[in-house]
């Protein structure tokens, strides 16, 4: 079982605004926050962003599951409006490991993020 994920970002203020907008429609909230890190989750923090001025995305993909299409669309829109860039608009997908409906975007540092309707 996955315990948590840490993503290094170059500007914590910019990235926390992006993740606030992306994760809120999924029911996630900030659980922790300090000068150099922010932790997000539903019941506990599982996704942390930490500031490192020379942070670089290295080809990872973080996929976040939600229960419905409306949340996928809202999260993608929030992320794109808050400094993220579109990779694939919300729609049906056959991507490896994805649900039947997903959206893909990049955070301000280039980390790939998928929001998908989760399955059991």
CATH number for the domain spanning 70: value is 3.10.180.10
Report helix, strand or coil for 24: helix
- Domain limits for position 105: 5-117
Total domains present in the chain:
1
At residue 53's C-alpha, the angle toward residues 52 and 58, to 5°, is 70
Give per-residue pLDDT as tens, 56-110: 888 889 999 998 999 999 999 999 999 999 999 999 987 777 778 999 999 999 9
Predicted model pTM:
0.89
Q: Return the residue matching tokens 């170059």.
A: 10
- Give the whole-angstrom CA distance, residue 84 versus residue 105: 6
Distance CA(74)–CA(90), nearest Å, equals 10
């Amino acid at each position: 079982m996955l315990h948590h994920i840490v993503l290094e970002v170059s500007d914590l203020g910019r990235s926390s605004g992006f993740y606030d907008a992306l994760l809120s429609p999924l029911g996630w909230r900030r659980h922790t926050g300090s000068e150099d890190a922010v932790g997000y989750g539903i019941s506990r923090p599982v996704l942390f962003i930490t500031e490192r001025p020379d942070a670089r995305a290295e080809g990872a993909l973080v996929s976040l599951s939600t229960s419905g299409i409306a949340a996928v669309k809202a999260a993608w829109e929030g992320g794109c409006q808050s400094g993220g860039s579109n990779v694939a608009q919300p729609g049906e997908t056959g991507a490896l490991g994805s649900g039947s409906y997903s959206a893909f975007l990049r955070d301000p540092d280039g980390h790939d993020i998928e929001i998908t309707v989760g399955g059991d």
